[in-house]
Amino acid sequence: MKSLAELAAIREKMQSKVALREGEASLRVVVGMATCGIAAGARPVLNAFVDGVNNANLTDKVTVTQTGCIGICQYEPVVEVFEEGKDKVTYVKLDAQKAAEIVEKHLKGGNVVTEYTIGAYKKD
């Protein structure tokens, strides 16, 4: 280690990797992974979120976790996005492709993908 810059580089690189343990990321993506969710294809959705967040370098800002049955099994796979100070957004009937879109538009861009939310789905 010949300079402080080298140390700072390691710190930067590693901080995102331990950030998970500090708990409070500003955005929380929760994927319903109960039997109903898994049967409806929640697993590829979870993978898509995990990969998407990673590829978009959002790991220090976003955590992806799973949860049990939310209670609206007919809409599975269901994903909820929690952001501090904002109303939670519930996405329904997702697949991997839609998940990638949500990462791009919502998590990265900050715009809710209204057409996949539960409100839009119910109107159909």
Partner 1 sequence: MIRSHVLICGGTGCTSSNSLKIQEAMNNELTAMGLENEVKVVVTGCFGLCALGPIMIVYPEGTFYSNVTIADVHEIVEEHLLKGRPVERLVYHEENESKHHATSLSETTFYKKQKRIALRNCGVINPENIDEYIAMDGYQALGKVLTEMTPDDVIQTILDSGLRGRGGGGFPTGLKWKFASGNRGGIKKFVACNADEGDPGAFMDRSILEGDPHAVLEAMAIAGYAIGADEGYIYVRAEYPIAIKRLEIAIKQAREYGLLGTDIFGTGFNFDIQLRFGAGAFVCGEETALMTSIEGNRGEPRPRPPFPAVKGLFGQPTVLNNVETYANICQIILNGADWFKTMGTEKSKGTKVFALGGKITNTGLVEVPMGTTLREVIEEIGGGIPNGKKFKAAQTGGPSGGCIPASLIDTPIDYDNLIAIGSMMGSGGLIVMDEDTCMVDLARFFLDFTVDESCGKCTPCRVGTRRLLEILDKIIAGNGELEDLDRMEELANYIKSASLCGLGQTAPNPVLSTIRYFRDEYVTHIVDKKCPAGVCKNLLQFKIDLDKCIGCGMCAKNCPADAIIRTDYIAPGHKLASFEIDPKKCVKCGACMEKCKPHAIYKD
Using CB under 8 A, list all residues that contact partner 1: 1-4, 7, 10-11, 13-15, 17-18, 20-21, 23, 25, 28, 30-35, 38, 50-51, 53-54, 59, 63-68
Q: Which is nearer to partner 1, 68 or 119 (CB)?
A: 68
Q: Which is nearer to partner 1, 8 or 120 (CB)?
A: 8
| Closest separation in Å from C-beta 85 to partner 1 | 19
| Closest separation in Å from C-beta 100 to partner 1 | 14
Residue whose token pair is 């409806």: 40
> Alpha-carbon distance 65 to 27, whole Å?
11
Q: Is the peptide bond before 77 cis (omega within 30 degrees of 0)?
A: yes
Is the CB of residue 113 less than 8 Å from the CB of residue 101? yes
Structure tokens at 109: 């861009």
